[in-house]
Amino acid sequence: MPLMPKRVKFRKQQRGSRKGTAQSGNTLAFGAYGLQSLEREWVTNVQIEACRVAINRFMKRKGRLWLRIYPDKPYTKKPLETRMGKGKGAVETWVAVVRPGTMMFEMDGVPEAQAREALRLAAFKLPVKSRFVTRHARA
């Protein structure tokens, strides 16, 4: 079942603004390791699910994973070869707005090397450049 809200107040949304950096959700809140965005983009529900599957397969049910982004913005599209006008298109998919600095995934309960590799595999599935962050200061 794809990630999408159960209910929304309005079926369709305007595109909105993606400018600026993440003002909240930009630090590690749950785990010891995280994947932080360096670019701005819309991340679809399918991409988030692909990352979740890649991380869980690599970790083999060890450790804990937190998804810090959620696709709550409807993305609409008009059918191909349709003339202009006649209103806004139907909802095609759901996206999460990701700004530079957004913490996308967090994990804990595994060694740093394993967390780094799992998040590296997840980063390949995303349309944004990202970096691995850790809570522990390096000595």
**Annotated domain spans of the chain:** 33-77+90-134
Q: What is the pLDDT of residues 45-94, one digit of tens each?
A: 999 999 999 999 999 989 999 999 999 999 999 999 999 999 999 999 99
More confident residue, 118 or 61: 118
Cα–Cα distance for residue pair 91/69, rounded to 1 Å: 20
CB contact at 8 A, 18 and 40: yes
Please classify residue 57 by burial: count the beta carbons closer than 10 Å to its beta carbon, then call 0-12 exposed, 13-18 middle and 19+ buried: exposed
Cα–Cα distance for residue pair 76/74, rounded to 1 Å: 6
Q: What is the pLDDT of residues 3-51, one digit of tens each?
A: 899 999 999 999 999 999 999 999 999 999 999 999 999 999 999 999 9
CB contact at 8 A, 21 and 99: yes
pLDDT at position 31: 93
CB contact at 8 A, 68 and 25: yes
* CATH number, span 33-77+90-134: 3.90.1170.10
